[in-house]
Amino acid sequence: MNDDPTSLMLLDHVAVHHPGQLDVPNRNATFAPDSSLKRLPKFIDYRKLGYVTPVRNQVRGSCGSCWAFSSAGALEGQLMKTHGKLISLSPQNLVDCVSENSGCGGGYMTNAFEYVKENQGIESEDAYPYIGQEQQCAYSTAGWATSCRGYKEIKEGDEWALHAAVAKVGPVSVAIDATLYSFQFYKRGVYYDRNCNKEDLNHAVLVVGYGVTNKGKKYWIIKNSWSEQWGNKGYILMARNRGNFCGIASLASFPVM
């Protein structure tokens, strides 16, 4: 395993495709915050609530599988919320079996959720372990861990809707621009770099909460899939309500159980 951030920097440039490059499910299931959500909690951290599994490492085999880790994380959160069970789900199951995506070449989280719905299941990590390269789909109901009824998307670029979804629903899958050195070598604090390109979505991560610092800086709590050696034990705090920074609300979605 190579945890040098310079090697990580090359990993995910093609891990999230732009519209038109892959078959995307119809954008007809949009999350609509209701009026009761006008006053949201100031802080939420789903790690402390038991909704989040340990940080994992997608680097094995240099596979652009961030979309699978993000999708699995969102499914894990909903499994905990709905059934009270926290189980590590299988990104490898998604890499191998979501035919609408490109495996280690990238993909959409919504395609992953659609697969889990149509397949009526996803296996656990223990049953279908991660190897970091594409192989023939080997899904088995013997390793079944959970399923979903579909998914909902956040209105493109709407950070308020993303805020409401995280508060009401749980962890949410998002795509960002992760190509800058400032992101690659992040260690602490609320990350903001005006050079981050919200139009270039190239890496999928998981929003597991939000908050505000003592100095008033609002942030998203982001779980990455580059091991605990990256960032702050595998996490980064990204600037919130700074004009859809890094495109964080441009391709956000979550599964429905």
Active site residues: 66, 203, 224
Vertex 22, ends 21 and 24: CA angle to 5°? 125
**3-state class (DSSP) for residue 91:** helix
The DSSP call for residue 155 is P
Torsion, Cα 134 138 143 149, to 10 degrees, reads: 80
- Tell me the torsion sign for CA atoms 60, 61, 64, 70: negative
The span from the CA of 33 to the CA of 152, in Å, is 12
Amino acid 99 reads S
Nearest Cα residue to 52 out of 16, 15, 89: 89
**Which run of H or E residues covers position 182?**
helix 181-184
Decide: 162 and 191 in contact? Cβ < 8 Å.
no
Cβ-based neighbours of 242, under 8 Å, separated by 6 or more: 192
